[in-house]
Amino acid sequence: MMVSYLFASPEGDIVLNPEELSRPFLLNPEKAHPHLTLGDYFDTIRKCILEDEGELLKGALKSVSDKNFNLQDVLKIQIRSEKHGVLYHLASVEAIMAEVRVKFTLSTAISQEGQGCILKEHDILRWLNRHSRFSFLPEIYGIKRMICHTAGGRAEEMVMLAAQWFEDYHEWHVTRDPRDNRQKIQIWDLKSGPRYASAEESSIIIEKCSKILAFYYDFENFNQIRTWHHAAGDFIVKCRGDQKPAVKLTTVRKYAPLMTAFSGKEVDPTIAFIYFFLDTTIRMRLDRLDGVGKTVWLEDFALAATVKGFFDGLRELETKGDGAAAVRADSLLSLLQSFDKSEFARVFDPLLAHYAAQASNGMDLINAHIGDHIGFLRQAFQEFH
């Protein structure tokens, strides 16, 4: 079996040589780990996927084939460093056999905070995948706690989570097109090269993000997918030929009611759902320019697309009998269409107070745009059918 260590780049894979693997492992672009090397990181991934007769690898293989494979069937493994996040690091693992190949993600957490987050995400994703009929979240293949013994005699603990890789899906972010200085969505396609989404594609991407959030809403306990961020690349998109964009959500960090006030059974389901919706209309408009720059506010197309995606999702849930007894789309639409601008402003006040108490990112942008946001939201409802 041949195992390769690679870096992913827009120009293609970079094969790492021994000198590069001896360099310090970077916790972030500005900070190196005090004693862990890049080779230690890759070697621990290799050990994770091969130990216990390749138990974790076999779990991933079951997703693509009914056949029972042994490690002896694996011809080649490519371990590719894909992305370094704030709390953990993302690699892809590709196992190649004579008949099939499988690719999956392996997220690694080193810090105590990162390990706590990755363990929580594992539990949430596993629960949602077991209790939902939707398939917009990655399948979980396994999680392991590994000990890496470095050349200096130190021991470093890591938690590694293996999950489904969404092939041909890409990150996207808001950017400024230098040709006309207009705000556009850019799809980070590493194979064909980055490109600007059309206006129609941009609206569909936001619609489908909103629809996914509506699909996973818990009408009984008011749990919702929380702390997702466009800036983190949580929603990813696949655009193939003339087909409409398809969207997936890479992880769920938190699944809980929006506010503690919504944690009791006596809460009106319609009120809880309205605040879930209003929160989504704001969160959907926040991104970082080019994924790493200053926080920016998406233009009004994003709000109209959020409304459409949300109500399309709610109506689809109704046709399948999910949550229909709690909140009906037509009744909710009629109620929101009846609000004038001052009534919308009063409804938004508790949500803005919640953001302020949580010291939410983008608060200055939210405060600067909330008046126009409310005005356009009311207009969007008047035009929506």
Query: Does residue 73 register a pLDDT over 70?
Result: yes
Determine the pLDDT at residue 27. Answer: 82
17, part of any domain: yes
Query: pLDDT category, 9, cuts 50, 70, 90?
Result: confident
* 198 in the same domain as 154: no
* 143 in the same domain as 189: no
* 353 in the same domain as 252: yes
DSSP character string of 47-66: HHHHHHHHHHHHHHHTTT-S
* 189 in the same domain as 109: no
**CATH number of domain containing 96:** 3.30.200.20
Contacts of 310 (CB under 8 A, 6+ apart): 210, 211, 213, 214, 277, 280
Length of the chain: 385
Indicate the DSSP class of residue 265.
T
- How many distinct structural domains can be found in the chain? 2
**CA-CA distance, 345 to 61, in Å (whole number)?**
52
Determine the pLDDT at residue 87. Answer: 84
Nearest CA to 211 out of 231, 188, 235 is that of 235
Query: Does residue 319 register a pLDDT over 90?
Result: no
Residue 276 and residue 261 in contact, taking contact as beta carbons nearer than 8 Å: no
**CA-CA distance, 49 to 69, in Å (whole number)?**
14
Mean pLDDT in residue range 16-26? 91
* 67 in the same domain as 24: yes
* 186 in the same domain as 158: no
Among residues 164, 192, 213, the one where a domain terminates is: 164
Stated pTM of the model: 0.92
Among residues 129, 164, 199, the one where a domain terminates is: 164
Q: Which two tokens stand for residue 72?
A: 């002896």
Using DSSP's 3-state secondary structure scheme, residue 225 falls into strand
Mean pLDDT in residue range 184-202? 92
Query: Does residue 85 register a pLDDT over 80?
Result: no
Containing structural domain, residue 95: 2-164
Query: pLDDT category, 329, cuts 50, 70, 90?
Result: confident
Query: Does residue 100 register a pLDDT over 70?
Result: yes
* 237 in the same domain as 318: yes
Query: Does residue 325 register a pLDDT over 60?
Result: no
Query: Does residue 183 register a pLDDT over 70?
Result: yes
Candidate from 33-37, 67-71, 341-345 with smallest mean pLDDT? 67-71
302, part of any domain: yes
Query: Does residue 2 register a pLDDT over 70?
Result: yes
Mean pLDDT in residue range 269-291? 94
Contacts of 383 (CB under 8 A, 6+ apart): none
Q: Which helix (H) or strand (E) holds 249?
A: strand 246-249
Query: Does residue 200 register a pLDDT over 90?
Result: yes
154, part of any domain: yes
Among residues 164, 198, 213, the one where a domain terminates is: 164
Using DSSP's 3-state secondary structure scheme, residue 317 falls into helix
Determine the pLDDT at residue 264. Answer: 62
62, part of any domain: yes
Query: Does residue 311 register a pLDDT over 60?
Result: yes
Mean pLDDT in residue range 239-258? 92
C-alpha separations of 203 from 185, 242, 299, 302, 321 in Å: 10, 15, 11, 6, 27
* 216 in the same domain as 339: yes
170, part of any domain: no
* 211 in the same domain as 316: yes
Residue 295 and residue 231 in contact, taking contact as beta carbons nearer than 8 Å: yes
Kindly provide the b/e burial profile for residues 310-348, where b requires at least 16 CB atoms within 10 angstroms of the residue's own CB: bbbbbeebbeeebbeebbebeebbeebeebeeeebbebb
Mean pLDDT in residue range 238-259? 91
